[in-house]
Structure 1
Amino acid sequence: MEQLFWACLAGGVLFAIVTVVFGDLLSHALDGILDFLSVDAVRKLRPMVIVSVITAFGGAGLLVLHYTPLGSVLAVLLASAAAIAVGILVYVAYVRPMENSENSTGFSIRELSGRIGEVLVPIPPRGYGEVLVKVGAGHTNQIAASFDGDTLEAGVRVVIVEVRDDTLFVSRLEDNLE
């Protein structure tokens, strides 16, 4: 039983070292080769979780076997319980937050309709200017024209009415504070 625990512990540590040292090289070399393994049911079982469970099983098993008077069967049961707890902890504390943190700074100009912006470069009645629009955590400057044919000075708050030909057509935002 001790050999099984040592094998699990050594395999997990070796996997960690190899992925840290050669992670980028291997990921580029094996790009797409193992995509057939990514079945939806298996995708929740991330390699990091699986390896941490195996490593924790080996380490906990060795500790229980050497530092308690319990037998092999109880050592396996306690090591299994510890491994499952570590796997859940790794998934909840690391894997799931990392999945949720993936976000993009990309946007489609078509998504800007209805948003509020501020005129940076004045917009003449029959010409173009520039507006600043908040997108996600940042801002973007876009070419704009007046939707109503009005002159819009710099600093005026506007609403984007429509997007045509990669140009934002904006109208003065009227604050109804009366």
Structure 2
Amino acid sequence: MLDIYWWLLWGSLGAAIFSLFLGDAIEGLLDSIFDSIGEFLNPLLLFGTLSVIGGSGVLITKYSELNNFIVLILSILIGVGAYILLYYFLVIPMSNAETSTSISINDLAGKVGDVITTIPAYGMGEVFIESTNGSRNEIAKSFDNVEIIQGTQIVVVQVKDQILYVSELTEL
């Protein structure tokens, strides 16, 4: 039985390392399967769990006098416990982490910028908006249906259908 645990340990470690390097390619090929299964059955987590089962089986068999069936049950319980801990304390927090520093176009409402292409009264132009996350050019329309000439400072009043509706920024 000890040999089975060793094979499980080394085989699943090898598969986990293989999955670590080529996991994105495999996931791309099997995308529909992974979408239906969900994040809970992550291949890297499954191989890691099999490694824990194999490793705990080796250690319990080698350093205790327990029956093989009890060793198997204990190893599976330890592996399932490791899987649950890794899933809830590593996978979920990492998947909820922000992966981008860019902002959504909908976050531009209320931002101040400059007109770089004149905005006709009933047409579209282009505005330049700077932020701490970087600067960006966006398509804009006049909120008040008045012409806004190039170089004018504007404020974004509304964002609708990926178009910024802007008004000229005037001092009080």
Give the TM-score taking structure 1 as reference length: 0.66
For residues 147-162 of structure 1, the aligned pairs below 5 Å read 147-148=143-144, 149=146, 158-161=155-158
Distance 1:15 1:125, change over 3 A: closer
Select 2:109's aligned residue among 105, 115, 121: 115
Instruction: State the identity %.
Output: 25
Deviations 1:61-106 (A, max 9, x none): 1111111232222211221111011111221233223333475658
Select 2:165's aligned residue among 145, 166, 169: 169
Indicate if the aligned counterparts of 1:122 and 1:153 stay in contact, CA closer than 8 A: yes
**Structure 2 runs not aligned, ≥5 long:** none
Query: What is the match of residue 73 of structure 1?
Result: 69
Distance 1:43 1:126, change over 3 A: closer
Query: What is the match of residue 18 of structure 2?
Result: 18
Q: Which moved more, 1:12-21 or 1:126-135?
A: 126-135
Select 1:90's aligned residue among 83, 86, 89: 86
Deviations 1:114-160 (A, max 9, x none): 8112122488785756241769x555232445433376897956233
What is the aligned residue count?
Answer: 167
Superposed displacement of residue 37, structure 1: 3.7
| In structure 2, distance between residues paired with 1:155 and 1:36 | 50
| In structure 2, distance between residues paired with 1:140 and 1:89 | 42
Give the TM-score taking structure 2 as reference length: 0.68
